[in-house]
Amino acid sequence: MDWEILLPSSLFIAAGLAGIWISFAGIAETFVDGLHAVSLYTLLLGLVFFPGGLLKDGLPSPKGVALAITALVMTTAVTLFIMLLILSF
């Protein structure tokens, strides 16, 4: 992982999502005119740079506690996905 690329790209993603949410939340009608375009550009720029920062030196390999937390999060996500599939039918 390259933190010099990963951190700004994740901040671009967060700023883009926040800007899109603010512009379409109805907080101010003037935001819809221009903020959503700039926010979407910021979000897409972050999404372009994020894989480059994450995969620069190869795939990250967690060990110890990080591996356990990763397994827990992945298991929870798969379980919720299966539950939503079952409940949607």
Residue with tokens 């060990």: 63
Say whether pTM exceeds 0.75: no
The answer to whether residues 42 and 15 touch, using CB atoms and an 8 Å cutoff, is: yes
Q: What is the pLDDT of residues 52-78, one digit of tens each?
A: 888 887 777 778 888 888 888 899 999
Confidence band, pLDDT 50/70/90 cuts, at residue 2: confident
pLDDT digits (tens, 9 = 90+) for 15-54: 998 988 887 787 767 667 778 888 889 999 999 998 888 8
SS3 of 29, please? coil
At residue 57, the pLDDT reads: 77
E-assigned strand segments in the chain: none
